[in-house]
């Protein structure tokens, strides 16, 4: 019989694409994660990962076990939730930055609420700084958002480069001061961009103040302005402005999950686990 602890570690290593990220996600040491996988491979009697000095890939047996592992963990979680569930009456308030406001995640939230007939779900989409302020004031129970070089607590889901994005074929050289498309304060991308430009001595002005990713991308695609954007938001028509153009390097965007200490701990922990396991694996 498989140990669910070992299966959970195996799935985390695959989803996180590495031992160190899996260790951070599971709040374990990297050696503990390696030990769990080694024990699982001993139990199976076959290697589950093909390792090289630079990468790792699932073996054929690892591919087969992965689907079983996900199913076993899902059944285990569902059984525990069903048998320990207490009646819940009230609201669960979730804050999402636009990076997370997508159908897959919303369907997961909808499925979670369906398990609790007395629950009302409220979702607020806003910039991360505003959402975190609301969380700290007790107005939200859970927040999914991105920050840069943060000292905030919260579970790190993944991180990626924050880059300068411009039109693929700009009409002309950028004028001085540099035209920017930015979100309003308190936005971590805005703060990182303005700080970097100030330190590099590059004059700028906010040519377009945006309230949505769609408006930000329109400003960049048209060649109207440049903007700081996570690398994953690239699309045809956009171009990453390389360092040789003189713009300063930006810090990574860190995508994190935050929870309120005052909220129902078991309920919010269950929702957090569901989000991480079912809504986000393809993003990390």
| pTM score of the predicted model | 0.66
The domain limits of the chain are 4-84, 90-159+254-283, 162-251
- Residues in CB range of 188: below 8 A, 6 or more apart: 128, 129, 146, 147, 148, 150, 253
- The number of residues making up the chain comes to 284
Domain 4-84 sits in CATH 1.10.10.10: yes
Residue 137 half-sphere exposure, CB side, CA atoms within 13 Å?
Answer: 8
Q: What is the pLDDT along the chain (284 residues), one digit of tens a residue?
A: 888 889 989 988 888 888 888 888 788 888 988 999 999 999 889 899 887 666 678 988 889 899 888 888 888 877 776 666 555 567 899 999 988 888 888 988 988 888 877 788 999 999 888 999 999 899 999 999 988 866 667 888 888 999 999 998 765 667 889 999 999 988 889 999 999 999 999 999 999 999 888 999 999 999 999 999 999 889 999 999 877 678 999 999 989 899 987 777 888 888 888 888 876 655 54
Give the residue among 205, 283, 194 at the shortest CA–CA distance from 247: 194
For residue 107, the Cα-to-chain-centroid distance in whole angstroms is 17
Write the CATH number of the domain with boundaries 162-251: 3.40.190.10
From start to end of 43-141, where are the E strands?
A: 49-51, 56-58, 90-96, 119-125
Same fold, 4-84 and 90-159+254-283: no
């Amino acid at each position: 019989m498989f140990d669910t602890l070992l299966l959970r570690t195996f799935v985390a290593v695959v989803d996180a694409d590495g031992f160190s990220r899996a260790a951070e996600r599971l709040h374990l040491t990297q050696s503990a994660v390696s030990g769990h996988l080694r024990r699982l491979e001993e139990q199976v009697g076959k290697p589950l990962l093909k390792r090289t000095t630079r990468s790792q890939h699932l073996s054929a047996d690892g591919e087969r076990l992965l689907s079983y592992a996900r199913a076993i963990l899902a059944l285990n979680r569902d059984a525990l939730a069903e048998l320990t569930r207490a009646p819940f009456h009230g609201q669960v308030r979730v804050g999402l930055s636009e990076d997370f406001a997508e159908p897959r995640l919303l369907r997961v939230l909808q499925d979670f609420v369906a398990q609790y007939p007395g629950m009302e779900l409220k979702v607020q989409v806003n910039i991360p700084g505003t959402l975190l302020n609301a969380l700290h004031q007790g107005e939200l129970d859970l927040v999914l958002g991105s920050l840069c070089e943060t000292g905030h607590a919260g579970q790190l889901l993944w991180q990626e480069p924050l880059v300068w994005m411009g039109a693929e074929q700009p009409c002309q050289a950028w004028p001085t001061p540099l035209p920017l498309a930015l979100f309003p304060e308190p936005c971590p991308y805005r703060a990182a961009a303005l700080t970097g430009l100030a330190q590099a001595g590059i004059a700028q002005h906010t040519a377009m103040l945006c309230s949505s990713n769609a408006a930000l991308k329109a400003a960049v695609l048209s060649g109207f302005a440049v903007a700081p954007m996570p690398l994953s938001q690239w699309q045809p028509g956009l171009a990453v402005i390389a360092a040789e153009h003189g713009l300063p390097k930006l810090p990574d965007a860190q995508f994190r999950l935050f929870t309120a200490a005052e909220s129902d701990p078991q309920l919010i922990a269950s929702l957090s686990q569901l989000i991480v396991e079912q809504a986000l694996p393809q993003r990390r």
